[in-house]
Chain A
């Protein structure tokens, strides 16, 4: 198995008629993902390389049975698009869009708690279940199927760690980018819970970064609920306090939220923390090599 996306995924893409939306939707399709529909208001009846476009998510779901949505629209339209997908009953929405206003994210998060829809992202690279499906912008050719589940706040850092693992001979069950925004739809805990229950996953890699307390919360959760080995990486040991490092979430204020504090919290709960991406792969090898 894998988590969240697999051979049963039927993907609908919001923003499919935009330049990046088209490029990545077709990329996902070439990988083998079943891309069943696109949504662009006013463009119903058109198609993108044979993928039918609908005016609304409701129409797309009714006509194609889409069960996963990918959001690829500009930030000012993204919150609305996520809410529309949820309203159409789509159980999993993956939002790639970067730069969504924080108050929009707050409203979306709160509303989704009241529906059955799970959001991954925003400002994330998506999800890859090697050999099954790819939804988002993760360069899939670098990864193969295997038993390591990866969950990460950063996109490119996910590729870096996944690639280092691949070079060491490991494959992945799923790679989940949860995004670097202040209000992510899914937390480390949400995804770790899925990996713990997933038969294919034998080792979980958590890739965090400075800011917030998501890693500290994950450490507590792991200690109480996770029996599989977990290896972690934290980016931002050398980041100066008070500066926003690109990700809206990555700001260190005061003593909390530092990389050192996060590494300490994880290590205190028995999670081993690599100091470089290469060290993470070394730790993984050590654990799985036995």
Chain B
């Protein structure tokens, strides 16, 4: 789960990382009130999970109440690269900046350790720095069982070419950032820019945080930060029902069990000239209710012209899937054709249940290729 800038900053503040004072606001009145509380000048910053907000006009400085009203009215509701601004963050205008650094910690799957990166070339796209001047980024992996040591901070600071008097404060900053990364079970914490003031103080002027969805059960406060308004309606519906659904552009609804098999199903459908409308993994051990729910989610996308069920049961039992489909037909009465392929645990029972039910417009297939070919033809209006 990605956090908004201000949610990340509030998380940082809880762990003692210095951030500028600010308030979130969802309406113009709230924004003006926040600005008066913080004092002028202040920055009105669009809260969207996409870069390039400044260039798009999503960050403006207000020097008085009228400007705060004018800017927040302009920014709230604005569209930035397809993301609608529902919230702004009103923040004390950037303190005097002497230098802009970059700091981040990522969950490095390849090395199987947290990777800390530090650069004195902050404030710009770090990928550009990595391409043009890789030596400007100091990197270090931390042993997850040892944790962050002070020498890690010193080494990174010296290697990045930080001024001697900043080595200690930057080290302390990285230590707190690492603490946040571990305590909140983040997959990414990024600060760009990490600013140095003329008084030689450091602070996080931006915050990018990605949390591990699997760990949210240990962090109920973070779990509440999920913003349903930025999810696609179908994706939101699927999420509420505990299904893994990703909306795609095509017209063939796909349901399968297991992420790999569903990905493979999308590929095979595309291979035979079809265009999948979604990725839907009903999960291991899919029960009848989950299947009914899944069909409802798929059919709520009105582009869908045909649906493919591709099930290879391991922990999932095919009879459960068949019963779920029958239940779905009772409650939803779908108007589009279905192609169903059942293999694996209890497949004979599942196929029999389906055959006995004589559902209208449901076709069966014995292999994945046959199922894909059938559904592609049906979606194009060719009778099976």
Residues on A lying within 8 angstroms of B by beta carbon are: 20, 24, 75-76, 98-104, 106-107, 109-111, 125, 137-139, 142, 152-160, 163, 180, 182-183, 207, 209-210, 212-213, 233, 235-240, 243-250, 259, 275-278
Whether B20 sits at the interface, judged by CB under 8 Å, is: no
Find the A residue at minimum CB distance from B247: A243
List of A residues within 8 angstroms of B182 by Cβ: 103
Shortest distance from the beta carbon of B22 to any chain A beta carbon, whole Å:
28
List of B residues within 8 angstroms of A109 by Cβ: 112
Residues A154 and B260 in contact, CB atoms below 8 Å apart: yes
Question: Interface centre among A102, A103, A107, A137, by most B CB within 10 Å?
Answer: A103
Residues A137 and B144 in contact, CB atoms below 8 Å apart: no
In angstroms, Cα B345 to Cα A20, docked, is 14
Residues B315 and A245 in contact, CB atoms below 8 Å apart: no
Residues B259 and A102 in contact, CB atoms below 8 Å apart: no
Residues B215 and A247 in contact, CB atoms below 8 Å apart: no
In angstroms, Cα B112 to Cα A160, docked, is 30
Residues A160 and B185 in contact, CB atoms below 8 Å apart: no
Given A238-B267, A245-B246, A275-B271, decide whether A101 and B144 contact each other with a Cβ distance below 8 A: no
Contact among A20, A103, A207, A213 with B212 in the assembled complex (CB-CB below 8 Å): A103
List of A residues within 8 angstroms of B113 by Cβ: 106, 110
Whether B129 sits at the interface, judged by CB under 8 Å, is: no
In angstroms, Cα B112 to Cα A110, docked, is 8
In angstroms, Cα B218 to Cα A278, docked, is 43
Report B68-109 CB contacts with A as 1/0, cut-off 8 Å: 000000000000000000000000000000000000000101
List of B residues within 8 angstroms of A183 by Cβ: 109, 112
Find the B residue at minimum CB distance from A182: B109
Identify which of residues 182-235 in chain B touch chain A, using a CB-to-CB cut-off of 8 Å: 182, 185, 187, 212, 214-215, 217-218
In angstroms, Cα B185 to Cα A100, docked, is 12
Residues A276 and B343 in contact, CB atoms below 8 Å apart: no
Residues B260 and A142 in contact, CB atoms below 8 Å apart: no
The A/B interface has a contact count, at CB < 8 Å, of: 167
Residues B267 and A156 in contact, CB atoms below 8 Å apart: no
Residues on B lying within 8 angstroms of A by beta carbon are: 107, 109-110, 112-114, 143-145, 182, 185, 187, 212, 214-215, 217-218, 244, 246, 248, 256-264, 266-268, 270-271, 276, 279, 281, 284-285, 312-316, 343-345, 367-369
Residues B314 and A160 in contact, CB atoms below 8 Å apart: no
Contact among B112, B258, B268, B343 with A154 in the assembled complex (CB-CB below 8 Å): B258
Given A107-B145, A156-B314, decide whether A212 and B109 contact each other with a Cβ distance below 8 A: yes
Find the A residue at minimum CB distance from B272: A276
Question: Interface centre among B145, B258, B270, B343, by most A CB within 10 Å?
Answer: B258
List of A residues within 8 angstroms of B368 by Cβ: 160, 276-278
Taking A155-B258, A159-B312, A246-B279 as given, write out 6 further A-B residue pairs in contact, using a Cβ cutoff of 8 Å, ordered by the A residue number: A103-B107, A103-B182, A238-B266, A239-B266, A245-B246, A250-B260
In angstroms, Cα B260 to Cα A250, docked, is 9
Residues B214 and A100 in contact, CB atoms below 8 Å apart: yes
Residues B214 and A99 in contact, CB atoms below 8 Å apart: yes
Residues B112 and A156 in contact, CB atoms below 8 Å apart: no
In angstroms, Cα B277 to Cα A56, docked, is 48
Shortest distance from the beta carbon of A37 to any chain B beta carbon, whole Å:
22
List of A residues within 8 angstroms of B212 by Cβ: 101-103
- Of all A-B residue pairs in the complex, the 3 with the closest CB atoms, nearest first, are A154-B260, A246-B259, A156-B258
List of A residues within 8 angstroms of B260 by Cβ: 152-158, 180, 207, 209, 235, 247, 250
Residues B343 and A248 in contact, CB atoms below 8 Å apart: no
Residues A102 and B257 in contact, CB atoms below 8 Å apart: no
List of B residues within 8 angstroms of A125 by Cβ: 314-315
Residues A110 and B144 in contact, CB atoms below 8 Å apart: yes
List of A residues within 8 angstroms of B114 by Cβ: 106
In angstroms, Cα B264 to Cα A189, docked, is 22
Shortest distance from the beta carbon of B179 to any chain A beta carbon, whole Å:
13
Contact among A107, A207, A238 with B270 in the assembled complex (CB-CB below 8 Å): A238
Residues A142 and B263 in contact, CB atoms below 8 Å apart: no
Provide 11 A-B residue pairs closer than 8 Å at the C-beta atoms, listed in order of the A residue.
A107-B145, A109-B112, A139-B313, A153-B260, A155-B260, A157-B258, A157-B263, A235-B261, A238-B266, A245-B262, A276-B264
List of B residues within 8 angstroms of A104 by Cβ: 215
Residues B284 and A98 in contact, CB atoms below 8 Å apart: yes
Shortest distance from the beta carbon of A78 to any chain B beta carbon, whole Å:
11
In angstroms, Cα B281 to Cα A154, docked, is 12
In angstroms, Cα B67 to Cα A32, docked, is 76
List of B residues within 8 angstroms of A233 by Cβ: 264
Shortest distance from the beta carbon of A257 to any chain B beta carbon, whole Å:
10
Given A75-B214, A182-B109, A238-B270, decide whether A246 and B264 contact each other with a Cβ distance below 8 A: no
Residues A247 and B185 in contact, CB atoms below 8 Å apart: no
Question: Interface centre among A75, A142, A212, A259, by most B CB within 10 Å?
Answer: A142
Residues B343 and A163 in contact, CB atoms below 8 Å apart: yes
Residues A139 and B314 in contact, CB atoms below 8 Å apart: yes
